[in-house]
């Protein structure tokens, strides 16, 4: 078993939070303004609902991985298709934290930073993390979880004490179509529960399956992130779309800063550890998916190729944040939302089929064994007995 339940829980939480409090709030605010929190809430609720399906899948996995389940249900080809889709989804998600770190360091913390060069250092770091075993990434998550959580809380409190909540009122004068459109456009930032499909069968569950803890944690995160958006919009109002990242700007107006300097930047940095971990997790999962698809034994080469792809995408494709966002939005609208809405259902059906097939095979095998036993000729009576019988006669 690769992960403990706690590690799995921490990794999913880190991945969930790390992506959503960077560039996303500013993008959402440009589309929906003060109603942006509804995107976080609505997508969060959808995530929780589909998370239930993922947990159900995990509950009935009978110790098998998703690949094995898919293979049993629909054969090798079917399993590979599922894994290609999951792999692409994870890879796209690995790009988001990468972009967030780019944003923070190249645009906020440094006056001038040659990102083409420094991005390489980041790529090496992400490679270093993603190339580890899942249990080591889990341990990394375990070490930093409380630091990341504490940093986020401190930054949120600093922002929450200075924001103007009236700017987010009134709450619900919004057309449903606009909300749905925005949800679809930024759906790639959601659906972190899909991580579960790659850790199925690898979590040490000690009799009890992943369950209510993950639902509770996920629900709390949805509420906290929706609240973070409200704080962010209350602080910047119409200027929100021009902010690079929620996490680096939410504490900017805290009065405390005047006394002790921008100490909050240290918390921003601590929080960004989560971003690297998230990027590492997604890349690791993507590499695992492609490893199964292509049957390559050494994961290192796949991780290397994927990191190179991300680096190329970051430097040459997403030349500006706007360009990057429009490409990501395109991926979101058609691919990510389909993954979130249909993949859990497809996989659940696959699992039911796989379990039925397994049961059928088990029954057949059992029958075969019984049949073979009955088919065996009965032993001839021993010679002595035969002789005795003859004497008595």
Residue 266 touching other proteins (CB under 8 A): yes
d(CA 230, CA 190): 18
Selected range binding other proteins among 31-39, 51-59, 118-126, 184-192, rule: CB under 8 A? 118-126
Number of residues this chain uses to bind other proteins (CB under 8 A): 37
Residue 122 touching other proteins (CB under 8 A): yes
Residue 12 touching other proteins (CB under 8 A): no
Residue 107 or residue 355: which is nearer to other proteins going by CB?
Answer: 107
Residue 7 or residue 185: which is nearer to other proteins going by CB?
Answer: 7
* Residue 70, both tokens: 């898919």
Residue 150 touching other proteins (CB under 8 A): no
Interface with other proteins (CB under 8 A), residue from 94, 222, 276, 281: 276
Selected range binding other proteins among 114-122, 216-224, 312-320, 370-378, rule: CB under 8 A? 114-122
Q: Which residues contact 184 (CB under 8 A, 6 or more apart)?
A: 332, 333, 337
Selected range binding other proteins among 85-93, 125-133, 207-215, 235-243, rule: CB under 8 A? 125-133
* Residue 36, both tokens: 């942006």
Residue 68 touching other proteins (CB under 8 A): no
Residue 136 touching other proteins (CB under 8 A): yes
d(CA 309, CA 337): 23
Q: Judge if the upstream peptide bond of residue 170 is cis by omega within 30 degrees of 0.
A: yes
Interface with other proteins (CB under 8 A), residue from 255, 260, 390, 391: 260
Selected range binding other proteins among 182-190, 271-279, 288-296, 302-310, rule: CB under 8 A? 271-279
Smallest separation (angstroms) from other proteins to the CB of 150: 15
* Residue 119, both tokens: 């991005």
Residue 113 touching other proteins (CB under 8 A): yes
Please give the DSSP secondary-structure letter assigned to residue 313: I
d(CA 323, CA 326): 5
Quick one: the chain helix, strand, coil %, rounded to 5? 80, 0, 20
- Pair 225, 246: CB distance under 8 Å: no
Residue 202 touching other proteins (CB under 8 A): no
**Interacting positions 219-258 with other proteins (CB under 8 A):** 258
Interface with other proteins (CB under 8 A), residue from 1, 81, 109, 153: 109
Residue 41 touching other proteins (CB under 8 A): no
Residue 265 touching other proteins (CB under 8 A): yes
Residue 206 touching other proteins (CB under 8 A): no
Window 316-355: contact mask with other proteins (x via CB under 8 A): ----------------------------------------
d(CA 105, CA 83): 33
d(CA 122, CA 72): 39
Please give the DSSP secondary-structure letter assigned to residue 36: G
Residue 4 touching other proteins (CB under 8 A): yes
Residue 195 or residue 277: which is nearer to other proteins going by CB?
Answer: 277
- Pair 4, 203: CB distance under 8 Å: yes
Check residue 207 and give left, alpha or beta (phi > 0: left; psi -120 to 50: alpha): left
The 3 state secondary structure assigned to 154-217 is HHHHHHHCCCCHHHHCCCCCCCHHHHHHHHHHCHHHCCHHHHHHHHCCCEECCCCCCCHHHHHH
- Interaction site with other proteins (CB under 8 A): 4, 6-7, 105, 109-111, 113, 118, 121-122, 125, 128-129, 132-133, 135-136, 138-140, 142-144, 258-263, 265-266, 269, 272-273, 276-277
């Amino acid at each position: 078993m690769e992960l403990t339940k706690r590690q799995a829980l921490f990794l999913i939480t880190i991945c969930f939070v790390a992506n959503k409090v960077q560039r996303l709030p500013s993008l959402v605010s440009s589309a929906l303004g003060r109603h942006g929190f509804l995107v976080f809430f609505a997508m969060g609720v959808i995530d929780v609902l589909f998370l239930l399906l993922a947990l159900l899948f995990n509950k009935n996995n009978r110790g098998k991985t998703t690949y094995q389940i898919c293979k049993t249900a629909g054969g090798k080809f079917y399993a590979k298709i599922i894994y290609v889709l999951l792999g692409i989804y994870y890879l796209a998600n690995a790009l988001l934290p990468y972009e967030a770190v780019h944003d923070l360091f190249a645009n906020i913390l440094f006056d001038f930073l040659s990102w083409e060069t420094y991005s390489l250092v980041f790529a090496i770091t992400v490679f270093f993390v993603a190339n580890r075993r899942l249990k080591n990434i889990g341990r990394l998550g375990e070490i930093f979880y409380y630091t990341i959580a504490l940093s986020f809380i401190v930054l949120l409190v600093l922002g929450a004490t200075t924001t103007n909540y009236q700017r987010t009122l009134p709450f619900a004068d919004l057309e449903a179509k606009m909300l749905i459109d925005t949800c679809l456009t930024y759906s790639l930032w959601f659906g972190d529960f899909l991580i579960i499909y790659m850790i199925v069968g690898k979590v040490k569950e000690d009799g009890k399956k992943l369950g209510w803890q993950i639902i509770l944690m996920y629900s709390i995160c949805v509420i906290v992130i929706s609240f973070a958006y409200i704080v962010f919009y209350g602080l910047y109002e119409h200027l929100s779309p021009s902010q690079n990242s929620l996490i680096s700007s939410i504490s900017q107006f805290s009065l405390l800063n005047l006394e002790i300097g921008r100490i909050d930047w240290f918390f921003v940095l601590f929080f960004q550890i989560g971003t690297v971990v998230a990027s590492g997790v997604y890349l690791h999962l993507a590499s695992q998916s492609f490893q199964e698809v292509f049957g390559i034994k050494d994961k290192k080469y796949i991780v290397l190729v994927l990191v190179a792809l991300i680096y190329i995408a970051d430097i040459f494709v997403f030349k500006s944040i706007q360009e990057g966002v429009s490409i990501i939005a395109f991926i979101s609208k058609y691919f990510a939302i389909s993954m979130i809405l249909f993949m859990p259902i497809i996989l659940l059906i696959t699992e039911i089929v796989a379990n039925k097939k397994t049961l059928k095979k088990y029954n057949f095998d059992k029958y075969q064994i019984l049949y073979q036993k009955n088919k065996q000729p009965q032993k001839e009576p021993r010679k002595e007995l035969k002789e005795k019988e003859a004497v008595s006669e």
